[in-house]
Structure 1
Amino acid sequence: MSDPTVASAPAPAAPARLRVALAGQPNCGKSTLFNALTGLSQHIANYPGVTVDKKSGGYRHNDRTVEIVDLPGTYSLTSFSLEERVAREYLLNAQPDVVVNVVDASNLRRGLYLTFQLLELGFPVVIALSMMDVAKSRGLTLDLETLSQRLCVPVVPVVGHKGVGREELREAISRAAEAPTQVPATLNYGDLEEAVAELQARIAALPGLSEVVSARWMAARLLEQDSEAERLLRQNVNNAHGILDQAQAAATAFQARKGITPGDHIAACRDHLAGEILATSVHHAHRDRVPLTERIDRFLLHRWLAPAFLVLTVWVIYELSIVQGYELTKVTWPLLAGFRDLAGDLLPSAGFLHDPTVRSMGLWMVDSANALLNYVPVFLILFALIAILEDSGYMARIAFILDRILHRFGLHGQSTLPYILGGVFAGGCAVPGVMATKGIPDQRARMATILTVPFMNCLAKVPLYTLLISIYFPDTKGLILFYLSTITVIFALLVAKLLSVSVLRHMETAPFVMELPHYHLPTVTGVVRRSVDRTWMYIKKVGTVVVAVATIVYVLLQFPGLTPERQAHYHDRAEAAIVDFRATLAGNPLLAAVPDQDSLTRLVNLYTDYRSDRMMVGSREAAEALDARLQDNHPDLAPFLVRSRDPNARAAQGALRDLASTRKEIRRQMKDERIVNSALGQLGRALEPVTQFANFDWKINVALLSSFAARESSVATLGVLFDQPEGDNQTLEERMGAEQKAAGYTALTAVALMLFFALYPPCLATTIMIRVQTHSYAWMTFSIIFPTALALAVASVTYTTGVALNLTGLEMMTGIYVVALTLLILVGLFKAPFGRSLPRPGYRVPEGGAE
């Protein structure tokens, strides 16, 4: 670095409020230091890219307010990734008073790459050497004075999680803000230095631009042909063509002369200087010792063992979170059911035929919320396991292992985590999967991942698969489940490739540059905290959407409602049932307990609640206690409900049982008719001309429409639409199978429906999350329209081809699978026509770590 020249201007007056940017590479301890300085608690993980959005906090020092902005972890200040753009835009637009560059003392050479760029921007910089304890444990001794002299900035050693160096860093920040203006330290670019200097001088002479950005930084970026730097120049200079032409000519001439791009040359200069500084500032006492991280990686990243260990890891995640976590729902569901009963008690009482709107809508909302809350144990375990993978350092290795494969389909190594969360095989959820794409630095791969994560087999898809397989493939369940669990991944990769070479082809790409952090033992506190925080975030984000969607679906299923003639018909049937009830109990003294319609409705509701409570009790003692409470709270109505040898009581109980059964049947028929004539039901009929090629009737259409709100709604809606006749007691599989087969439906329809469901647009909660992640209603709309068209096309081709070739459902499913797998192999054999912006591989590993 060249020695800075101190300007002659006096020191500026210290501002009453300091704005400090905290910048550093991923996994350097930046978020830990942010927490130590501000007292806030950010999520900290041993995984690159945890902080994607910039976050701020503050503290008081020397009677001055200091605002700390924690920028996303980034390896450089180019414009390849979302993190780089967010960090660079903040530095250029906000112009902070001081930049604290957090550098991992145990990986100094790697960290200095970003340091040189921050210095070149011209901000007052303070180096915070983090993880000094880790460096010491590895036998590293740092000469802080020499390091400070070479970099021309103050260097403060810190240990963030212990608070060591916190006050010294705060004092250094204040001194840097009050120091006289200095010419920023720079590095010499060797054979490119003359071109940089010429551009720098020309840019510095431009009015207004020097106040926005460092002329030397801009000169180097233009020679690297940085698109964001070119945009910034055009934005601030009326006629920028001359400078851009000069930069282009200089870059072309340099590459022709040296056979290397200016960007690669600049990167090599930075790395060379970092090596020189490392040689003069760092002493390694254990240079010959193989680090523990490298010894572990020799096993976990072994060519043949790595895939096996990865598969084992994924299996353990599913076994513990999905299988065992689902067992825990048997404990939580009675609690949720009890909450529903409590809500029913607080809401207005049910009518004989018509419930108050407040009650019916309220219980609808509770049921919708319970469908979400029932999976909380699964998510708690799942997020805890993901946190362990992050903190241990293995999550980065997963991306490392899979990147070369995923890259051929336009994806990124870090697409692995979203796919896992979305449900690679079965049991995930697309909402956290889409949320997890924030860490993907490649914009094209990130969008491809966002748009294909919903193809994964989320837990809510499983009930419909189970229903259809039980009806049409009872003898080949295992094979069909295998097809479904893997064909969704095949479809996702093929669609990602298609999107990458079509609608996403103009998006920027980034090199796959990822640190393989040192292994650490996760802390129980950290894992539990992040598991709870992420689950709570999921509940808040999805819960609000579920309530909104439940309201819309409720309205669409209720209105326009029954005609006056049909309402009168059901009312007459109810009146006839009540007349029969009273006639049966004529002369029975217990009839006096229900003299009017209100008391009779109260009795029937009490009967319904009592029967529900009796099903929940698990012992004879609990049943006797329930009967005792009923007799104490409702002494006049208890004889209708509690078993007794009294002839009058037994007659009353029989009459009440018949009345309640008739009322239940009438209410069910009213509900069915209301759904058929509802707006949603009519829409299902209107879609039949479009879906007939997949052999979907209006009932299937209504189920698919309702499942857009929540995947679980598909089976629930089918359960209502394919209701059982009076007096029967059939399962949904039996009655739906009988009706569909009687209508001429075959297993081909089931195959078409399952494939449609696999490719169907994401549920509304996921769609909203896509809007949040992309900040675009256009992409949210695309995520609905494109999968719908694709799913309908695949389902229609599947059914019509199967009918034309006279194939069975199993034969057609096998044929589709073989074709898709063959296409996947053929596509994977050819390298992508679009490339990354830098050569691959681009992995960054800890010093002494595994390559």
Structure 2
Amino acid sequence: MNERNDLLVALAGQQNAGKSTLFNMLTGARQHVANYPGVTVDKKYGQYSDAEGVVRTVDLPGTYSLTSFSLEERVARDFLIQERPDVTINVVDGSNLHRSLHLTLQILEMELPVVLALNMMDVAEGRGLEIDQAALSTRLGLPVVRTVGRKGEGRAPLRTAIRALAAADKPQTTEFPVTYGPLEPDLVALTQAIQTTPELTGMPARWLALKLLECDAQAATWVRERLEPAQAEPLLEQAAALSATFERNNGLDVSDHLVSCRERAVANLLDGVTTDPESGRPTLTDRIDRVLLNRLAAPAFLVLTVFLIYQIAIVWGYELTNYTWPILAKTRELIAGVLPEAGFLVDPYTRSMGLWLVDSANTLLNYVPIFLILFALIAMLEDSGYMARIAFILDKVLHRFGLHGQSTLPLILGGVFAGGCAVPGVMATKGIPDNRARMATILTVPFMNCLAKVPLYTLLLGIFFVEDKSLMMFYISTMTIVFALLVSKLLTKTVLRGEETSPFVMELPTYHLPTVSGVLRRAFERTWIYIKKVGTIVVAVAVVVFTLLQFPGIPEDRMAEFEQRGEAAVVAFERAMAGNAYQRLATAEHIGPLVNYYNDYKRAKLNASGAEGSRAVAARFERRNPEYYPLVSRPRGDKDARRANRHLRDLSSERKSIRREMKEARITSSLLGMIGRSMEPVTQFAGFDWKINVALLSSFAARESSVATLGVLFQQDEDQNASLEERMGAETKAGGATALLGTAIILFFALYPPCLATTVMIKVQTGSYKWMIFSIVFPTLLGLGVASAVYSIGLATGASGVAMMSWTYFSALTLLLILGFLGGRSGRNLRSTSVDSTETGEVRA
């Protein structure tokens, strides 16, 4: 016990046994709960208080065993061995007890005090399954408690059992030890050697001996950390020799032998303990799987599922932005009204930066409805159990390229076709047990078509590919998965070659009907996480980009020229207003506010909806400044007001022209502009000029910034209201740009490094700055190489942009098919033990 009556309790159990739900029930915390393996990978902490003290509770990752193949297994095992909790709650699925007890036996071998929580008993009893809890408790020698976590049943008995076990005077001993047959003599000999080594005191000797006989790398590391080399190496050599002798004499791997012995032990344990009247009859899950996992029907259902996800979330969900954007635009107007007034030529710094930050944030927030729908649909797939089926269906294909069946969810979240986000995609890789496949997934998820890439694709298609939009959109929506698979194959054969792999173990959970509250809660929680993690970074980086575009500023001689032009425009306005009834407003005191009032009125009128909206704008501006209002409303019969309006329009137009040229000069001479120009000697082979370089650099901060930056670089007069497609198209085509440039930009952008938020998440998930830097450098070189090759070959051959895109796409697809058919499934660490999926609910490759 820790101190006084405070306890440390760990919840351990196999994936999808309801462990996190039980953790929520015990502590009152709200963890994400899904009917999908690998949801909880980090340790989750909580606590509750009872009459005797505080019980600190840890929710360990769900794991099938306590080997060191996967991240989940390592996290769970390291905590149990190093922290030695006062009580370990082994959460088992009562409806699938045979499968769950494999982990129970391994926990008992660690010599930990254990309470067995028979969870999901409502499902078991609904199937008519009967479990003799008293008999099970007697055979295992530990308390057994019936629970239904999602209904809150069994909390009090479980808390009572925890206290009783922690207060027990004698250590818990199981009456049902596992015997390992011909391995027992070797196991006993190695256990005795460990017990006679003082430095290993405190480690469960028999369990450590088993791990050493399995040639467990982490167990060997523990021995080397605790012993001097002269002691450690003989012990490890003894274990290796015993293991090799056993495998040679029995023709069976030690790990497989242990699994087989535990399988027999579980069968004997449950003999007479469980009664299943439905045994042998297909369950509802079995009947559904016969259709959904049918060799011919499975791909069709999968394609239909993915299509519906994007149709509902991206196509239909995008319509919701028609309602959200006016709200965001109105919010911008309100904030603009609070900020300091715009100057005649130079705005206050706080106003310029404030509006820049609002525009950056609005770009992100406009996609929130789409993410809400997308995350809700993903939650439904997880809770129903079909997400695990998707992973199972795709594993055979994905593994040929170094990925894993459980790479499916990260790729979907990243945006397989269009509309995801790499940040939650990288976060979702935590559940992939194969470390090599997990690293490959982390590094390829950013290639997916995240939602923030879509604006730039749409812009380029509208400029260069008006007649071929459908064909180009097909290429864009599918080529990223082709590139991702090829890159994954390359990485797993090179830089990831030394990473550890693990057996593919996939649980096919029972189908459940998702709950509305559960789906909505997770959709909102995940969207909020996205807003916090990405939104804060977008705003922070927007400050950096804004600063880099502002400094060092316009050269003094150019600024003096702009000021002279501004003064000349003001003088011309004053002269034109001479003799006018409103001449009193043509003074230095009024000119700046008057021009701002005029521009605000025009913008409000353009955004007003219908006659009623227009009248509301007029009334609002008349209240805002009755003195200025006649100059913008031009009342009938007031000739002076109409003439003043024409002069004011001329002044405003000249002011806009000067301000536009000032912005161009400021950006050209800015730090970011200079960086963009310095890159031209390299990027010219891909056709990129300094403006495109600047836009692509800013998109590293946030993908949305690419179009926003281009909007700044390719400016217009405020009263023209021309689209960015028209402005950028006119300027680039005037400079000789063709659709070939559009193809090069698209290809580079598809392979471009992940945004800053994603690179931060890559650092979090890999724990390595090395991989974070690699995730930036490698895609940059790859994207620039591909874009330069396509642009240069297109120029040399005179091929069009569409022709070069087609050539690139089908070349990559052909290479993909060749590697897929000839690459095989080499490199996977297979377990030869056959496990009956109808009994255990899991599938091993």
TM normalised by structure 1 equals: 0.95
Say if 1:455 and 1:489, in contact at 8 Å, map to a contact too: yes
Match of residue 750 from structure 1: 742
Match of residue 191 from structure 2: 200
Matches within 5 A, 1:36-47: 36-47=25-36
Which whole-Å deviations, capped at 9, do the CAs of 1:351-396 have from their partners, x for residues lacking one?
Answer: 1111111111111111111111110000000000000001101000
SS at match of 2:197: coil
Aligned-pair CA distance for 1:617: 2.0
1:633 and 2:653 matched:
no
Match of residue 218 from structure 2: 228
Matches within 5 A, 1:28-43: 28-43=17-32
Match of residue 406 from structure 1: 398
Match of residue 215 from structure 1: 205
> Aligned equivalents of 2:778 and 2:248: distance in 1?
45
Aligned-pair CA distance for 1:849: 5.7
Letter in 2 for 1:84: E
> Aligned equivalents of 2:560 and 2:733: distance in 1?
35
Match of residue 309 from structure 1: 301
Match of residue 614 from structure 1: 605
Say if 1:472 and 1:747, in contact at 8 Å, map to a contact too: yes
For the structure 1 residues 315 and 27, does the alpha-carbon distance in structure 2 shift closer, same or farther, using more than 3 Å as the test? same
Segment drifting more, 743-752 vs 403-412: 743-752
Segment drifting more, 453-462 vs 372-381: 453-462
Which whole-Å deviations, capped at 9, do the CAs of 1:81-101 have from their partners, x for residues lacking one?
Answer: 111111111112211111000
Which whole-Å deviations, capped at 9, do the CAs of 1:272-304 have from their partners, x for residues lacking one?
Answer: 111111222101112243100000000111101
1:363 and 2:355 matched:
yes
Say if 1:293 and 1:850, in contact at 8 Å, map to a contact too: no
Aligned-pair CA distance for 1:347: 1.2
Segment drifting more, 459-468 vs 758-767: 459-468
For the structure 1 residues 63 and 231, does the alpha-carbon distance in structure 2 shift closer, same or farther, using more than 3 Å as the test? same
1:508 and 2:500 matched:
yes
Which whole-Å deviations, capped at 9, do the CAs of 1:6-50 have from their partners, x for residues lacking one?
Answer: xxxxxx898421000010011101111111111111111111111
Aligned-pair CA distance for 1:677: 1.1
Letter in 1 for 2:201: S
Aligned-pair CA distance for 1:713: 2.2
For the structure 1 residues 712 and 698, does the alpha-carbon distance in structure 2 shift closer, same or farther, using more than 3 Å as the test? same
Say if 2:406 and 2:432, in contact at 8 Å, map to a contact too: yes
> Aligned equivalents of 2:457 and 2:302: distance in 1?
27
For the structure 1 residues 725 and 142, does the alpha-carbon distance in structure 2 shift closer, same or farther, using more than 3 Å as the test? closer
1:642 and 2:633 matched:
yes
Which whole-Å deviations, capped at 9, do the CAs of 1:107-139 have from their partners, x for residues lacking one?
Answer: 111111111111000110110000111111111
Match of residue 72 from structure 2: 83
SS at match of 1:208: helix
1:151 and 2:140 matched:
yes
Matches within 5 A, 1:380-419: 380-419=372-411
**1:131 aligns with one of 112, 120, 124:** 120
1:285 and 2:277 matched:
yes
> Aligned equivalents of 1:283 and 1:47: distance in 2?
27
Aligned-pair CA distance for 1:488: 1.2
> Aligned equivalents of 2:459 and 2:665: distance in 1?
24
> Aligned equivalents of 2:837 and 2:581: distance in 1?
87
RMSD: 1.9
Aligned-pair CA distance for 1:730: 5.4
Say if 1:51 and 1:71, in contact at 8 Å, map to a contact too: yes
Match of residue 65 from structure 1: 54
Segment drifting more, 534-543 vs 604-613: 604-613
> Aligned equivalents of 2:842 and 2:108: distance in 1?
30
For the structure 1 residues 85 and 339, does the alpha-carbon distance in structure 2 shift closer, same or farther, using more than 3 Å as the test? same
Letter in 1 for 2:417: F
Segment drifting more, 801-810 vs 678-687: 801-810
> Aligned equivalents of 1:347 and 1:716: distance in 2?
21
For the structure 1 residues 471 and 346, does the alpha-carbon distance in structure 2 shift closer, same or farther, using more than 3 Å as the test? closer
Match of residue 43 from structure 2: 54
Letter in 2 for 1:660: S
> Aligned equivalents of 2:335 and 2:730: distance in 1?
37
> Aligned equivalents of 2:345 and 2:722: distance in 1?
25
Aligned-pair CA distance for 1:850: 8.9
> Aligned equivalents of 1:374 and 1:844: distance in 2?
49
Structure 2 gaps, min length 5: none
Which whole-Å deviations, capped at 9, do the CAs of 1:224-261 have from their partners, x for residues lacking one?
Answer: 11100110111112221111111111111111111111
> Aligned equivalents of 1:502 and 1:328: distance in 2?
45
Say if 1:517 and 1:845, in contact at 8 Å, map to a contact too: no
Say if 1:512 and 1:840, in contact at 8 Å, map to a contact too: no
Identity %: 59
Aligned-pair CA distance for 1:698: 1.5
Match of residue 474 from structure 1: 466
Match of residue 18 from structure 1: 7
Count of residues in correspondence between the two structures? 838
Match of residue 3 from structure 1: none
Letter in 2 for 1:294: D
**2:707 aligns with one of 703, 711, 715:** 715
Structure 1 gaps, min length 5: 1-11
For the structure 1 residues 560 and 692, does the alpha-carbon distance in structure 2 shift closer, same or farther, using more than 3 Å as the test? same
> Aligned equivalents of 1:719 and 1:39: distance in 2?
49
Aligned-pair CA distance for 1:603: 1.3
Which whole-Å deviations, capped at 9, do the CAs of 1:755-805 have from their partners, x for residues lacking one?
Answer: 111101011121122122222221111110000011111111112223333
Match of residue 556 from structure 1: 548
Match of residue 8 from structure 1: none
> Aligned equivalents of 1:418 and 1:107: distance in 2?
28
1:693 and 2:685 matched:
yes
Which whole-Å deviations, capped at 9, do the CAs of 1:318-361 have from their partners, x for residues lacking one?
Answer: 01111111110110111111111111111111111111111111
Letter in 1 for 2:136: L
Aligned-pair CA distance for 1:711: 1.7
Say if 2:256 and 2:833, in contact at 8 Å, map to a contact too: no
> Aligned equivalents of 2:796 and 2:122: distance in 1?
71
For the structure 1 residues 628 and 487, does the alpha-carbon distance in structure 2 shift closer, same or farther, using more than 3 Å as the test? closer
Say if 1:512 and 1:843, in contact at 8 Å, map to a contact too: no
> Aligned equivalents of 1:28 and 1:468: distance in 2?
49
For the structure 1 residues 195 and 183, does the alpha-carbon distance in structure 2 shift closer, same or farther, using more than 3 Å as the test? farther
Letter in 2 for 1:141: E
> Aligned equivalents of 1:840 and 1:352: distance in 2?
78
Say if 1:83 and 1:441, in contact at 8 Å, map to a contact too: yes
> Aligned equivalents of 1:172 and 1:846: distance in 2?
33
> Aligned equivalents of 2:541 and 2:307: distance in 1?
34
**2:334 aligns with one of 339, 342, 361:** 342
Say if 2:24 and 2:30, in contact at 8 Å, map to a contact too: yes
> Aligned equivalents of 1:782 and 1:366: distance in 2?
32
Aligned-pair CA distance for 1:652: 1.6
Aligned-pair CA distance for 1:846: 6.1
Letter in 2 for 1:331: Y
For the structure 1 residues 142 and 47, does the alpha-carbon distance in structure 2 shift closer, same or farther, using more than 3 Å as the test? same
Segment drifting more, 363-372 vs 823-832: 823-832
> Aligned equivalents of 2:20 and 2:832: distance in 1?
29
